[in-house]
């Protein structure tokens, strides 16, 4: 049985920096509410499920955060203000282009003179400059806020706090829930305090079902917002039925379905009225295009339509 969402908050403490993050979210939303721009909350990356309170081991999720980080850049390009709620150390907008050693390889170090200098290699300027320009612009306008989570419990607390701040935006708020959130967890009161000992034999770890937050989110926390959830499956046959059942259960506006192996080239939009695919061809991929460009453009068309028809 899934525990009820209210029980979850009653039995799991907020993360230690929760009040700081709540104030930061509140201040950011109040500032942008005055400007009157549209705002998107993007959740990105996977949550962890700790197996011990003093966590040495945890269950993790495959998500790298590519979808969320890339989408954040496209929402900024379209004039949205962005709250980027992501798994700590997962991919982030802009820096994702220079992951690993890429940035180091673009730089030249000169230690010959009295002053050490670092320059960008001439053939890397064209690659770095456009991304840097977009990054600087977003920073200078203060249009993106980064909030990070690690565990499923952090995610729950931060998501609700963000929703409380976003509610005032009514239909101008868009929730783009791309994070891969664990479906199973070990409740706090069933978790050992210390590292599980191999000397005690095979551990008996009982995972419970995570409560479905989409239900209170859509009906109570941000009832006027445009909510988009993602659905990941590995079996093509159940993708659309599962996406449609989520839409029927939670009564939000759009589920974007994807299959693990093809998620960067094909997604299916499932709406109350129909299904349609957004696809990136091999050629487009080779030309450096990203499927998130098409996903975000289509989501914005639906959000615009939703705002037009909304009385809020
Ligand atoms: O983060 P990523 O780019 O590696 O993967 C994106 C994704 C597959 C996690 C996302 O598109 C998604 O489907 N999120 C929801 C997953 C789910 O809980 O069903």
Q: Residue 282 sits in a domain of what CATH number?
A: 3.40.50.10300
With vertex at residue 299, the alpha carbon angle to CA 298 and CA 300, rounded to the nearest 5 degrees, is 90
Unique residue bearing structure tokens 């659309």: 240
Predicted pLDDT of residue 312? 67
For a pLDDT cut of 90, what percent of the chain falls above it?
A: 96
Assess if residue 45 is contained within a domain: yes
- pLDDT, tens digit, for every residue of 266-286? 999 999 999 999 999 999 999
- pLDDT, tens digit, for every residue of 73-120? 999 999 999 999 999 999 999 999 998 899 999 999 999 989 999 999
Q: In what order do the strands lie in the sheet with 173-177?
A: 144-149, 81-87, 39-44, 173-177, 226-233, 254-259, 266-270, 275-279
Assess if residue 37 is contained within a domain: yes
Predicted pLDDT of residue 122? 94
Assess if residue 291 is contained within a domain: yes
Residues 6+ apart with CB under 8 A from 36: 172
Assess if residue 289 is contained within a domain: yes
The atom number, within ligand 1, closest to the CA of 183 reads 18
Assess if residue 132 is contained within a domain: no
- DSSP H/E element including 184: strand 184-185
Distance 257 CA to ligand 1 centre (A): 9
Assess if residue 15 is contained within a domain: yes
Distance 178 CA to ligand 1 centre (A): 5
Predicted pLDDT of residue 36? 85
Q: Report yes or no for ipTM above 0.90.
A: yes
Domain extent for 54: 5-91+139-309
Total domain count for the chain? 1
The best mutation among 49, 60, 178 to test binding of ligand 1, ranked by most ligand atoms within 8 Å of the C-beta, falls on 178
pLDDT above 80: residue 311 = no
Distance 87 CA to ligand 1 centre (A): 12
The stretch 131-149 carries a mean pLDDT of 97
The atom number, within ligand 1, closest to the CA of 258 reads 13
């Amino acid at each position: 049985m899934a525990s009820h969402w209210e029980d979850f908050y009653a039995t799991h403490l907020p993360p230690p920096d929760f009040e700081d993050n709540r104030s930061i979210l509140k201040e950011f939303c109040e500032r942008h509410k005055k400007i009157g721009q549209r705002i998107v909350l993007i959740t990105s990356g996977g949550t962890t499920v700790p197996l011990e309170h003093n966590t040495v081991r945890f269950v993790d999720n495959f998500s790298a955060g590519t979808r969320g980080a890339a989408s954040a850049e496209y929402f900024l390009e379209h004039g949205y203000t962005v709250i980027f709620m992501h798994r700590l150390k997962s991919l982030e907008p802009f820096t994702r282009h220079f992951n690993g050693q890429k940035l180091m390889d673009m730089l030249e170090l000169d230690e010959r003179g009295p002053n050490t200098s670092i320059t960008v290699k001439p053939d890397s300027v064209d690659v770095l400059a456009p991304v840097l320009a977009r990054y600087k612009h977003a920073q200078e306008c203060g249009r993106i806020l980064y909030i990070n989570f690690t565990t499923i419990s952090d995610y729950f607390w931060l998501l609700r706090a963000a929703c409380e701040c976003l509610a005032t935006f009514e239909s101008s708020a868009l929730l783009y829930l791309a994070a891969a959130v664990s479906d199973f967890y070990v409740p706090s009161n069933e978790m050992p305090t210390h590292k599980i000992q191999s000397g005690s034999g095979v551990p008996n770890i009982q995972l419970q079902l995570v409560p479905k937050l989409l239900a209170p989110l859509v009906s109570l926390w941000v009832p006027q917002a445009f909510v988009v959830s993602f659905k990941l499956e590995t079996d093509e046959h159940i993708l659309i039925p599962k996406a449609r059942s989520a839409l029927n259960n939670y009564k939000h506006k759009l589920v974007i379905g994807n299959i693990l192996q093809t998620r960067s080239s094909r997604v299916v939009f499932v709406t109350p009225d129909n299904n349609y695919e957004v696809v990136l061809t091999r050629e487009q991929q080779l030309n450096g295009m990203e499927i998130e460009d098409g996903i975000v453009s289509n989501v914005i068309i639906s959000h615009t339509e939703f705002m037009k028809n909304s009385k809020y």
